[in-house]
Amino acid sequence: MPNISARAAQAPASPIRRLVPLADEAKRRGKKVYHLNIGQPDIPTPEPFLRGIRGAPVEVIAYSPSPGMREAVEAMRAYYAEWGIDLSPDELIITQGGSEAVLFALNVVCDPGDEVLVPEPFYPNYNGFARLAEVEIVPITTHRREGFHLPPREEIERLITPRTRAILFSNPGNPTGVVYTEAEMEMLVEIALEHDLFLVADEVYREFVYQGRHVSVLSFPEIRDRAILVDSISKRLSACGARIGVFASRNPQVMDGARRCAMARLSPPTLEQYGLIAFMADPRHREIVAEMVDEYRRRRAVLCRELGKIPGIVFREPEGAFYVMLGLPVEDAEGFVKFMLTDFPGEETVMLAPGQGFYRTPGLGRDEARIAYVLNVDDLVRACSLLREGLELYQEVEERVRG
């Protein structure tokens, strides 16, 4: 049997992937599993978006232009203009979800072996993109006790080497819920200018801000040439499976590079672009997203209240996105998550994402887990009560094993 490539063979399976079969098994045994482990929103996709797809005036589902349909690009331009960001039609392309936009960004700014700084904990799929692009991720460690805000400038600067090409960050943050302050963004801008780096901001959660104000990477004229925006409608239109994302930059070379990447894969999905066009043409589109964000704001309040009742759990209220990183009163969060799926008694249980998968630095995050508040308020209350029971039971079992 011929060997597959080293890069494909060595790709790490994320911890969550090891746990998914256990959740499936629990469900086969008839257990209800509250999934707090994935960022898959439960809120219905807005009607105008669905209508745009269902009523798309096409006889042939043809390729769209590689950079997206002209009208889809216009729809996204109109969106950013509403947020005070003016982009020309050449300054953005439609991608197959935010995922592809991240992959394009790494390909455009890095050659194989180059390095990218990424604040950790970070979205684990960045590891997959980095592997595909043969790019090294160098973590900037941030801490729960500081609400995962950035460390001082010198701490970031001492990670920079001649191979560093960019700082990639999600803002608002997944899994941290951090929203970088204007001062933090200014610090990143200064570092980028001084060390000749690109700033790649994943702003997929840009409207999900509950405290503070979101500052886009595209709002700094001094880094017009080095700012890259990665975006997606997946979360704010509750349409993760539509695979509509955005890659934007005011640097024409960067956009040329991105367009070349886009040509290689021919076309983003066509019908979903009609969904986007129809959604943006709806006069209520801003309201619809605002209502969705309000729902997450309510969930966040309930979740934080309920988590606050659980002894030993440590966390700070997330400022944005729809995640919260918890410190758990256990040594091995993955062991606890496993326990909840395999040994926790009763008809219901809860699934979290173990913290380690979000860190690059070995050993970090072992006692942490991420919660995505993508369930309705009643389910969140129930899930928190299961979490509390589970922790009590698990601690008892652990003590018995030790004793």
Q: Which of residues 186-245 bind its own copies (CB under 8 A)?
A: 196-198, 225-226, 238-243
Rounded Cα distance, 98 and 195, in Å: 27
Stretch that binds its own copies, among 95-103, 143-151, 180-188, 300-308 (CB under 8 A): 95-103
User: Among candidates 173, 119, 170, which has minimal Cα distance to 141?
Assistant: 119
To which residue do tokens 């991420």 refer?
Answer: 370
Q: Of these, 114, 202, 334, 379, which contacts its own copies (CB under 8 A)?
A: 114
Rounded Cα distance, 38 and 303, in Å: 16
- Tally of CB atoms within 10 A around 309: 10
Q: Of these, 31, 128, 187, 212, which contacts its own copies (CB under 8 A)?
A: 128
Question: Is there binding between residue 279 and its own copies (CB under 8 A)?
Answer: no
- 2 or 84, CB closer to its own copies? 2
Q: Of these, 78, 81, 183, 266, which contacts its own copies (CB under 8 A)?
A: 266
Stretch that binds its own copies, among 29-37, 76-84, 102-110, 280-288 (CB under 8 A): 102-110
Rounded Cα distance, 279 and 271, in Å: 13
Structure tokens at 352: 């979290």
- 105 or 310, CB closer to its own copies? 105
Considering only residues 136 through 195, tell me which ones interact with its own copies, judged by CB under 8 A.
165
Question: Is there binding between residue 45 and its own copies (CB under 8 A)?
Answer: yes
- 2 or 403, CB closer to its own copies? 2
Stretch that binds its own copies, among 107-115, 276-284, 317-325, 381-389 (CB under 8 A): 107-115
- 100 or 306, CB closer to its own copies? 100
Rounded Cα distance, 339 and 349, in Å: 10
Q: Of these, 21, 44, 308, 312, which contacts its own copies (CB under 8 A)?
A: 44
User: Among candidates 347, 248, 314, which has minimal Cα distance to 32?
Assistant: 347
String of DSSP letters for 45-112: PPHHHHHHHHT---SS-PPPPTT--HHHHHHHHHHHHHTT----GGGEEEESHHHHHHHHHHHHH--T
Does residue 83 contact residue 214 with C-beta atoms inside 8 Å? no
Rounded Cα distance, 59 and 56, in Å: 9
Minimum CB–partner distance for residue 139 and its own copies (Å): 19
Question: Is there binding between residue 68 and its own copies (CB under 8 A)?
Answer: no
Question: Is there binding between residue 253 and its own copies (CB under 8 A)?
Answer: yes
Question: Is there binding between residue 13 and its own copies (CB under 8 A)?
Answer: yes
Question: Is there binding between residue 401 and its own copies (CB under 8 A)?
Answer: no
Non-local (6+) Cβ contacts of 398 within 8 A are 330, 331
Question: Is there binding between residue 15 and its own copies (CB under 8 A)?
Answer: no
Question: Is there binding between residue 291 and its own copies (CB under 8 A)?
Answer: no
Rounded Cα distance, 322 and 376, in Å: 12
Count of residues near its own copies by CB under 8 A: 78
String of DSSP letters for 148-217: TPPPPHHHHHTT--TTEEEEEEESS-TTT-----HHHHHHHHHHHHHHT-EEEEE-TTTT-BSSS----G
Minimum CB–partner distance for residue 196 and its own copies (Å): 5
Question: Is there binding between residue 125 and its own copies (CB under 8 A)?
Answer: yes
Question: Is there binding between residue 265 and its own copies (CB under 8 A)?
Answer: yes
Q: Of these, 24, 25, 27, 58, which contacts its own copies (CB under 8 A)?
A: 58
Considering only residues 331 through 390, tell me which ones interact with its own copies, judged by CB under 8 A.
none
Minimum CB–partner distance for residue 170 and its own copies (Å): 15
- 119 or 245, CB closer to its own copies? 245
Stretch that binds its own copies, among 248-256, 294-302, 365-373, 386-394 (CB under 8 A): 248-256
Give the per-residue contact string, 292-311, with its own copies (x = CB under 8 A; - = no): --------------------
Q: How many residues does the chain have?
A: 403
User: Among candidates 289, 218, 235, which has minimal Cα distance to 98?
Assistant: 235
Does residue 321 contact residue 208 with C-beta atoms inside 8 Å? yes
Question: Is there binding between residue 269 and its own copies (CB under 8 A)?
Answer: yes
Q: Which residues pair with residue 366 across a beta bridge?
A: none
Question: Is there binding between residue 70 and its own copies (CB under 8 A)?
Answer: no
Rounded Cα distance, 237 and 239, in Å: 5
Question: Is there binding between residue 64 and its own copies (CB under 8 A)?
Answer: yes
- 270 or 356, CB closer to its own copies? 270
- Tally of CB atoms within 10 A around 40: 13
